[in-house]
Structure 1
Amino acid sequence: MPRLGMEPVRREALISAAIAEIGAVGSLDVTVARIAGRAGVSAALAHHYFGSKDRILIAAMRRILEDFRNAVNRRLKAASTPRQRIEAIVEASFEPAQFDSAIVSAWLAFYLEAYRSPQAARLLTIYARRLDSNLVHALRCLVAPSSVRITAQGLASLIDGLYIRAALQDRAPKREDAVQLVLDYLALRLNSESPS
């Protein structure tokens, strides 16, 4: 492979290695040398491609968010009703590639990074707004206008909370149970909106 063709391959390897390293350490307290070693390249090459550890971490965060967006979009294509749209979002949130222990640790680390880094904060704001927008769009057809926002917040809070539990506890719900907990909350909200 020509040398120019290796840059995208090495960048991807470094991003994947950063996610794996964060998952192994459980925080952003990782070094470029460890990330580079996991990727099979030199630390100098990692600096050449990204310029700093912070840029590698932001690239890793972008990758996780892009993978999540793709998972949601893939599932939304098969959803034909508002309730199926919400179920698609919930299932994408907890699909195996998203609810992997390294990804869960990375999410938690990125939430903490958002307090320090305006770039990380901006990326998490984009994630939160997209999640809210998708949920609100579907909920408008299912609940009273006065309940849309609070129901969307409840669903998003459950999703995020289950990620935190998965990162911090060994007794956190399994993937299937996490999906069911969120969908049970949805069913409760929808039942409370039904006329008696």
Structure 2
Amino acid sequence: MPKVGMKAIRQAQLIHATLTVIDRVGLADASLALIAREAGVSTGIVSHYFGDKNGLLDACMRQILLDLYRAVEHHRSVAADDPQAQIRAIIDGNFDDSQIAGPVLKTWLAFWSSSLHQPDLQRLQRINDRRLHSNLTAQFARALPIDAARAAGASMAALIDGLWLRMTLAPQPMAQGLLDARQLCYQNLALWLSGPAT
């Protein structure tokens, strides 16, 4: 009989192993056998908890998205309750340490690519996109007319995603890329809040 709590422990162990293997060999070569070996379990255990590789990738993305949600909520909870501070907190949450660790970055890229062909992953991607845009728009709407707030939300969401992708692929040190990405987002935010866009 399995120990109480073993399921959660095993699942976390296998998700961590998956991130590690994707970081090392890429998604295409991240076989269940390699993941099982990394976790120190049999492939049967992986199949038992996740079914197949797609189920495991889905679980990994759900964990990363949960970590992203928690990071954004943490940054927002310690920020002042004004639109600029709250938007900066959303920016900071999206570039949080939990989201820029090497294995997570490569899994995000694999997720984005795979979501083009897998409906379950595509649905997760849409939820994440809508949450980011909605949160940004709601904060911009506290300072701008609604049409401008929607445009500002869409602009900032696209900037966050674009900078994140460029930072991931760039050869420069991660710390500098992170600093530059945040600064560009802050500058864009200041432009939106300083007056009407032309």
TM-score normalised over the length of structure 1: 0.91
Superposition RMSD in Å:
1.9
Cα displacement (A) at 1:75: 1.6
- Give per-residue Cα distances to partners, 1:157-179, cap 9 Å, x unaligned: 11111221123221375212211
User: Partner of 2:120 in structure 1?
Assistant: 119
Cα displacement (A) at 1:78: 2.1
How many Å separate the matches in 1 of 2:62 and 2:43? 21
Confirm or deny: 8 A CA contact 1:144 1:193 kept in the other structure.
Answer: no
User: Partner of 1:41 in structure 2?
Assistant: 41
User: Partner of 2:14 in structure 1?
Assistant: 14
Distance 1:166 1:27, change over 3 A: farther
Confirm or deny: 8 A CA contact 1:142 1:190 kept in the other structure.
Answer: yes
Among 180, 184, 190, the alignment partner of 1:181 is 184
How many residues matched? 194
Matches within 5 A, 1:1-196: 3-79=3-79, 80-171=81-172, 174-193=177-196
For 2:192, the aligned partner's letter is R
Confirm or deny: 8 A CA contact 1:114 1:121 kept in the other structure.
Answer: yes
Identity %: 36
TM-score normalised over the length of structure 2: 0.90
Confirm or deny: 8 A CA contact 1:17 1:38 kept in the other structure.
Answer: yes
How many Å separate the matches in 2 of 1:27 and 1:51? 17
Which structure is richer in relative contact order (CA contacts within 8 A, separation 6 or more)? 1
For 1:160, the aligned partner's letter is D
- Give per-residue Cα distances to partners, 1:41-84, cap 9 Å, x unaligned: 11121111111111000000000000000111112222311111
- Give per-residue Cα distances to partners, 1:111-164, cap 9 Å, x unaligned: 111111100000011101111111011000122322111211111111111221
Structure 2 stretches lacking a partner, 5+ long: none
How many Å separate the matches in 1 of 2:114 and 2:52? 15
